[in-house]
Structure formats: structure tokens, C-alpha cells
Amino acid sequence: METKKTTLVRGLSLTAATMLVAGSMIGSGIFRKPATMAGQLHSPELLILVWVVAGLITFIGALVNAEIAGMIDATGGQFMYFKEMYGDFTAYLYGWSILAVIQTGSQAAIAYVFAEYLGYFFKFPEASKYLQDISLHMPFVGGIHPFADFGTKAVAILCILFLTGVNYIGVVFGGLVQTIVTFIKIASILLLSFVLLFFGNGSTANFFYNFHLPAETSTNLIAMIGLALAGAFWAYDGWNNVTFVAGEIKEPQHNVPKALLYGTLIVMAVYVLINVAYLYVLPIEEMKNYPLVASAAAEKIFGSMGASIIAIAVIVSTFGAVSGSILTTARVPFAMARTKLFFTSLGKVHPKFATPHVSLVVQGVWSAVLVLSGSFDTITDYVIFAAWLFYMLGAIGVFVLRKKMTDEKRPYKVWGYPYTPAIFIVFSFLFLINSVVSDTQNAAMGLILILLGLPVYVYSKYFHHRFQKK
């Protein structure tokens, strides 16, 4: 007879964990953001420098998280870290925001891009005009049309539900799919880079403009660099997702820190290389005119077939990013339920597959709803402020835990302490200040969406378990 499983299984290797880090970061951003950044900076040297700086800041964030990940190996990752650092309330707000908007909104957005590029090869049926004209009011967002572009939305939803099913039947199987897909997409980006560099009819002169900037950039340089950094950080985001599944990684005290560091360095190298390759075949003045810069670069070599090649690369890349996000994020509401800070049912483990199946289903359904809303770009804009607020709190937490858990064994200690976490904290603070000043409405709305979880917190913390006892 099969043994009924009541706990999650430690089945993910270091390789799988590293691919989770890299796969969660590499989505559609690297194919879209370079053109926008080129238009903001007008300098090839600054463009590469921004990618390097954003990568180094992300790497410092990974270093900071690596120390805590080596100490606390529980499923839920960052949620459990905040619980140790600051207590239930801050941990709950983080977990709520992850489930309500930050990660689920990201899944919806990336799945939609996956469907858009799949539509390059297949024509999707659309809803009738009557259905497309149906409008609903969504609080804080406004009017939405759930059946507009319904073919694309339906494919995005099917992608989310399929990958939810893959992760439902086992973390090892889900990790295997993630590992294979991530290897393929890293290999495809590297192959594109080498083809552009060795077969593209480009010029190394495109790399050096002696930092010559047009007047509109030089007079507003700090703001332009800030905007470009925001774009690069969007492409690097997802680096800490692996901590959510720490409880299912073999030897987590050693493998989670290693995965954070290896995965971040791999992505940083890949991003810098592909941007050098873009610049080689497309001068900065041309690059800014192509929103899909990868397609434009590939067309230089392969002609019209280049767009098809890039479409396939984006399909693979976004598929892997959605898979990694679904696998990792479901562990946050699971951990919240297990610590009695959320609805108990989300803390259940599937008796056969040993996965947080209820949490996975709830997450999948909510992500699908966000796809239908068509407003995920707006929603994710709202939580940029909140996401960086939690990044900053996580770095401050290193100092908190050094005092609270002085004698706790630390398999890895953050390199350069206290300077490296301090650098990350200062940068995060400046980024938050810039968000408040330049994007006040979205920053405020991000906080409002997070605070909407307060009634659930009060219920879970003070009333739910009393009712259960009765």
C-alpha cells in the first residue's frame, strides 16, 4: 500500500535549484527592455554599464539572502525570513502581496506574452463582438474587458493551468521540466549571441561613443539612468523565488545559497553578452527604434525568418519563467497556512504527490482571473514600490538576525558584511524615494492593495482558529 504523504519532499538538487533561479529571472524582459533603455540612454557604454550595475545590485541582494537562506531552510523562504526578523504582521503582508498581486500578476503578464508570440504561428479564434464589448469595473483599476483578445487570453490561461498541473503532480517532475526548459532558453540566448557576433555584419565601433550624449539626455542624466535601471531590474526580477521552495531542496543550508549565487551570475553574464551582441549589429540609434530588438537583430542575419527564430526563443523563455514562478510561489500561501496566518486548507499536502495542491490550485485560478482582467501590467506597476520595500526590509533583516540569532550556525556569511547589505539598503531606499516622487499614484496604489489584506490577517490571526475550536 502507498504511504500517505503529509509533508513536502526534499527532491530538488543544486542544479534544479540553480535553474529555478535563472529560469525565474529570464522571461520576456531581455527581448523587450534593451530597446527602451537605448532610447533613454543614447549611449552604448551607459547601456552596458546599467546592465552590469543592475546585475551587481541583484547579486548583492542574492548574497544577502544567501546568508539567511543558509540559516532558515523552511518552505516559504522570504515569508519565513520576515517571520523571524519582524514577526507575524510583516511576514503576512509580504505573503499576501506575493499571492494577491506581485507573483500572480507576473505569471499572468508573462503567460500573456507567451500566448502573443505563439500567435505568431497560430491564429487564435476570438469571442463575438457582443462578448468583447462587455465591460466590468475592477476596483482601483477601472473598466476592464475580460473577453477582448480572448483567444490570446485563453491560451495564456491554458499555459498557467497546464503548468499548475505539472507542478501539482510532483515537485521533482516540476523541477525537471523547469531545468530542461531553462537549459534550452539559456542555450538559445547564447547561440543567438554568438551568431550575431561571429556572423553578423556589425562593427565594434558601435560599442564606443566616448559617452557622447544628446542634450536631452545629458541635462536629465540621473532620471534617465534611474528609468533604465528600473527596466533592467524588471528583467532581473525573480532571483529570490528559489527561497520559497527551500523546504524541498536537498541540503538547503548549502544548496540554496549556492543556487542564489550561481543562478544570478549566470543570468548577469547572459544578459551582458546578449546586449553586446545586439549592439554589434545595431547601433544605439537604430536599437531604440525596434521594440523587439532581438527580432530586429536576428533579421539582420536570417532575414524574415529571424522573427520566427526569436518568437520561438521568447516562447521557450516565457514558458520556463511561468513554470518557475508557479512552482515556487505556491509555497508562500502554503507556509502562511501552516503558520496559522492564512486559511488552513491552503496548508494541505497531497497524500500521493506530496505537493501543496490546494495552494497551487488557488494560485492558478487567481492568475487566470488576472489574465482575464487584462490589467496585469497596471497591477504590477502598482506593486513595484511594495516589492522594493520588501527587498529593503530583507536586507535590513541581516542586521536584525545578527543580533537576534547571534549563536545560530551560519553555513554562509554574506561577503563584505556590513558594507554589502548596507549598499543594497541605501540603493533600495533611493529607489523607493524615486518611485514616490516620480510615480506617486502607483506607489500609493501598491500600498493600498497590500493593506487590503488586513481583514484576512485579523480573521486568520484572531478569529478563524477560535471558530474551528468551537
- The count of structural domains within the chain is 1
Give 272's pLDDT tier (boundaries 50, 70, 90).
very high
The answer to whether residue 115 is domain-embedded is yes
In a domain, 329, yes or no: yes
Residue 4 lies in a domain: no
Question: Per-residue confidence at 216, pLDDT binned at 50, 70, 90?
Answer: low
The mean pLDDT value for 120-134 works out to 79
Q: What is the pLDDT of residues 314-347, one digit of tens each?
A: 888 889 889 889 988 999 999 999 888 888 889 9
Q: What is the pLDDT of residue 255?
A: 87
| Average confidence (pLDDT) over 123-138 | 77
User: Does residue 11 lie in a domain region?
Assistant: no
Q: Is the pLDDT of residue 434 over 80?
A: no
431 domain-assigned: yes
Residue 232 has pLDDT above 50, yes or no: yes
Measure the CA angle with vertex 21, ends 16 and 26; round to 5°: 115
264: pLDDT strictly greater than 80: yes
pLDDT above 80: residue 467? no
Amino acid (1-letter code) at residue 259: A
Report which of residues 218 and 151 the model is more confident about.
Answer: 151
- Tell me the pLDDT of the chain averaged across its residues: 84
Q: CATH no. for residue 396?
A: 1.20.1740.10
Does residue 7 sit within a domain?
A: no
pLDDT tens track for 405-416: 888 888 888 888
- Whether 276 is covered by a domain: the verdict is yes
Per-residue pLDDT at 466 exceeds 70: no
Domain that holds residue 294: 16-469
Q: Considering the domain boundaries, does residue 41 fall inside one?
A: yes
> In this predicted structure, what is the pLDDT of residue 2?
47
Q: Which of 57-61, 99-103, 223-227, 303-307 has the highest mean pLDDT?
A: 57-61
pTM value is 0.83
